[in-house]
Amino acid sequence: MRSAPYTGSTISSAIWILKMIFLVILHLAGDALIRASSPKPNFVLMLADDLGIGDIGCYGNTTIRTPNIDKLANDGVKLTQHIAAARLCTPSRAAFMTGRYAVRSGMYSCGEARVIHWLGSSGGLPPNETTFASILQQQGYSTGIIGKWHLGMNCESLNDHCHHPLNHGFDYFYGMPLTLLNECQPGGLLQIDVPFRAQLTLLTQIMAFAVVTLVIARYSNMVAINWKIIFYSALLVILFFITWYLKYGFLHYWSCIIMRNNEIIEQPMNLERTAPQMLNEVLQFIDRNKDTPFLLIVSFLHVHIPLITTKAFMGKSKHGRYGDNVEEMDFMVGSVVNAIDNAGLKNNTMIYFTSDHGGHLEANDGKLQTGGWNGIYRGGKGMAGWEGGIRVPGIVRWPGIILSDVKIDEPTSLMDIFPTVVHLGGGELPKDRIFLVILHLAGDALIRASNPKPNFVLMLADDLGIGDIGCYGNTTIRTPNIDKLANDGVKLTQHIAAAPLCTPSRAAFMTGRYALRSGMDSCGGARAIKWLGSPGGLPPNETTFASILQKQGYSTGIIGKWHLGMNCESLNDHCHHPLNHGFHYFYGTPFTLINECQLGGLLEIEVSFRAQLTLLTQIMAFAVMTLVIARYSNMVAINWKIIFYSALLVILFFITWYLKYGFIQYWSCIIMRNHEIIEQPMNIEEMATQMLRELQHFIDRNKDTPFLLIVSFLHVHVPLITTKAFTGKSEHGLYGDNVQEMDFMVGSVVNAIDNAGLKNNTMIYFASDHGGHLEVKDGKFQTGGWNGIYRGGKGMAGWEGGIRVPGIVRWPGIIPSDVKIDEPTSLMDIYPTVVHLGGGELPKDRIIDGRNLMPLLTREALHSEHEFLFHYCGTQLHAVRWHQKESGAIWKAHYMTPVFFPEGAIGCYNTKVCGCEGDHVDHHDPPLLFELLADPSESKPLDARVDPQYKSVLSRIKMAVTEHQKTISVVPQQFSFFNNLWRPWLQPCCGTFPFCWCDKEDHNVAGLMG
């Protein structure tokens, strides 16, 4: 049975970090040279406890002195997006040791006990988990861990030590099997189960008071009660007290112990001696093993409370006891590094420094904070979503192998250490763990082994509303083929278009970037390409996913609508044409369907401006006629030449604008095959059948090679041209007929894939470019789409109805069937997804806003990688969506909303498409805030004055907007007035302009539809 193809985050992250390490090895020489010169490198891995990323000089702290850690960073690589796999000690360390999320080994919980609380409990790192220490031990390494363990001790008997370090691949252990606690310091603040202990104390006092009351009452003869009852009651109180006090009153003895290997050598530990003893053990281990390859984990007790610091460092920092403790740890780091260097091991030892998670913000001693600082990052220890809880220092030094003074701004994880040291130490990753990941979590390895070049069929509807499809809630329009596609795959319920209009949305889809990054969005009169004879379009320097797959050996084709421009400077330069953007084959319209494509149809393009031109022409003609009459009647003495040239001026004025608007059917409604115009004007009644024929031919031609096929439907854009086989068949008039015809075409494409034997090797995707068009009507009848429960529609970037679209993905054997995913995703995500699956690499020179969907589709990841999505109307930011993953909430803040007309309407019926700025929008200060899971219709904004969450949510969104806007660069605007101005010399023409007409199409398409 075939499984889903995506590795866990651990393996993909590991591949990345290995790449970064070896990228710089002796000028890209590769690991062969490493193994020749250093077959068994040493590893010193230093792990701080509760250290905040903002507590170190090289990460921005200017007051706490950390010269040794700073030097380590200067001599090696500093990772700026180094992420802990969990936000608390035990699960983070379990993930670090195993290279797997802690939930995979059962080392995670959402209850009160999220870490190991007691040495006398049976929980811990399971004996069947494989640590990197155990793999290196088998490779002949001496392995040791000195310091904190905190991954359990015994399972069933006192000395079985099933969770002990020596049972997990270490030859030597010195340190605490648990962790530092406040209770380790006599007289310190309580830490463990404090509220429960207070309840036990209060209950004991109440019970004792009751017994004393009984004694007094008995002595005073107030009650007649047997002394035996009083005695046993007192005994019960004493036994109750002893029972719980034995547990909590001697924590100092139970938890605060030091072991060497399997022997307890201090109980309770002497806190003041622990740091010097640890350092001494580290130095002795290095000295003992300097002639053999070794792995040494230095697991600091610093900077966990109670912040025990030796006298040499007390009072030396500007940040009280916490600063003292950090500076003492820095000294120990320097001592370890010096020991390595002095032993002559510098060039053969990889040294790594990090923290197990973020600093503990809530730790305090009275008014003084005794926890760490996480710099600019929000949150801290215990908070899995906020960066402050999981972003940690990450420093790697290996002279001669890794470059010095390098900063890497790519996401990495503590879990990456597992595959890194295993690989460098000559070991192999566990096969059972890899297969577990591959078979159940769908990894890259399986995809590329069984499907090295999967096919992609990406279907994009035009103006389709999310409420128009059966699987998204419509009960009257019949869409059985699309519904079956969803049943056989994954349905995305929060699939978001990057723009609410055709051209910018398609530009974002093709490039994986917000359209304004490429200049493909505007707030002016033109928010989409209006003319084939204008120079605006998708810039030649933009990289589409088609161009990347083309380089990977794919046959690439797009059939249907393009609408991303044609020429730049000359008639046939085709700089914006599909064949200049990574496609081998194009059949369809380089523009879009418009009402003018249908003879006698309603006008669509610049209707009000054309009316003004007509009126002006009539006024000018009337003026000339008036002059003629006045001249004949001798009312005015005017030269006939003036009248002649005035009439000529009117005629030339009329010809000028009528040449542009009167022949739109010829200028805009054309069909091309590759670079050749084959129909001008297009026969729109046959377009659907011709498209279907081309689709089937493309699949048949390329069934033996990997291919990318974009099916860019002309459905369901006005004028809703539908073949006779589907006309009058739906309950929703012409619009419903058009949707049902498109559904038939979807089924035909899927059947062509399946009948060609490509079903299991083809990813099929279906979506719409944006929401349905509410304002389009034919008389009283609406001819646009329905967006279900969602407010707004096409042209509205903030309201859900304009941007929430269907999203369906099918890939049998790889993606599970009949699954619904309620996580935010974007049309831009298709870019990195198909590039990754097709074996390509994302461009390094630009920001890609999309995210790889495969972890989500295969259910390896439970959450979308999108935390924020930005909803632009033209170049104006109308709204921002925040996925608050720790709570599951989806917040959306509206800064501007369109002004509907007439008042009380649901759209902009005066302009047909809502504007983005000026008088066309209402500005909201404070912004409107909705929680979309509770209020998907966006009808009840939170009250900014009384809702307790409003301020914190808006504050976080504001921070995200600030960071996002820093990434926006100024680029040439493709929709500027001049770039969207019709230029006759750029107008595609299959004859001699202006006599543009041809029909080279094969019209033998009978039997394809219906």
Strand pairing of 406-413 and 294-299? unpaired
CA dihedral sign of residues 874, 878, 884, 890: negative
In terms of Cα–Cα distance, which of 885, 751, 774, 742 is closest to 824?
885
Can you spell out the DSSP letters for 368-428?
EE-S---TT----TT-SSSHHHHEE-EEEE-TTTSPSSEEEEEEEEGGGHHHHHHHHTT--
Cα dist from 656 to 160, 623, 631, 798, 996, whole Å:
95, 19, 28, 39, 17
Q: Give φ, ψ of 305 to 5 degrees.
A: -60, 145
Q: Angle at the Cα of 774 (from 495 to 823), degrees rounded to 5?
A: 10
Q: Is the CB of residue 106 less than 8 Å from the CB of residue 434?
A: no
Strand pairing of 676-680 and 998-999? antiparallel
Q: Give φ, ψ of 676 to 5 degrees.
A: -100, 135
Q: Give φ, ψ of 767 to 5 degrees.
A: -155, 180
In terms of Cα–Cα distance, which of 110, 120, 183, 172 is closest to 145?
172
Distance, C-alpha 377 to centroid of its chain: 18
Instruction: List, in sequence order, the alpha helices (H) in 765-824.
Output: 800-803
Q: Is the CB of residue 742 less than 8 Å from the CB of residue 470?
A: no
Q: What is the DSSP letter of 129?
A: P
Three-state DSSP class for residue 551 = helix
Sequence-distant (6+) residues with CB within 8 A of 75 are 397, 399, 404, 405
Q: What is the CA radius of gyration of the chain?
A: 36
Spatial separation of the C-alpha atoms in residues 134 and 625, rounded to whole Å: 101
| Residue carrying the six token digits 């399997």 | 262
In terms of Cα–Cα distance, which of 598, 592, 591, 588 is closest to 671?
588
Q: Angle at the Cα of 93 (from 92 to 95), degrees rounded to 5?
A: 65
**Residue 143 amino acid letter:** T
Helix 830-837 and helix 502-511: axis angle, to 10°?
A: 30
**Residue 429 amino acid letter:** L
Q: Which residues are catalytic?
A: 502, 563
Which residue(s) pair with 532 in the sheet? none
Instruction: List, in sequence order, the alpha helices (H) in 878-1007.
Output: 950-965
Length of the chain: 1010
Three-state DSSP class for residue 826 = strand
Sequence-distant (6+) residues with CB within 8 A of 817 are 487, 488, 489, 810
Q: Is the CB of residue 589 less than 8 Å from the CB of residue 671?
A: yes
Residue 591 half-sphere exposure, CB side, CA atoms within 13 Å? 27
Q: Give φ, ψ of 105 to 5 degrees.
A: -105, 10
Three-state DSSP class for residue 228 = helix
The token duo for 572 is 């046939």
In terms of Cα–Cα distance, which of 56, 57, 17 is closest to 410?
17
Residue 275's H or E segment, with its range, is helix 271-288
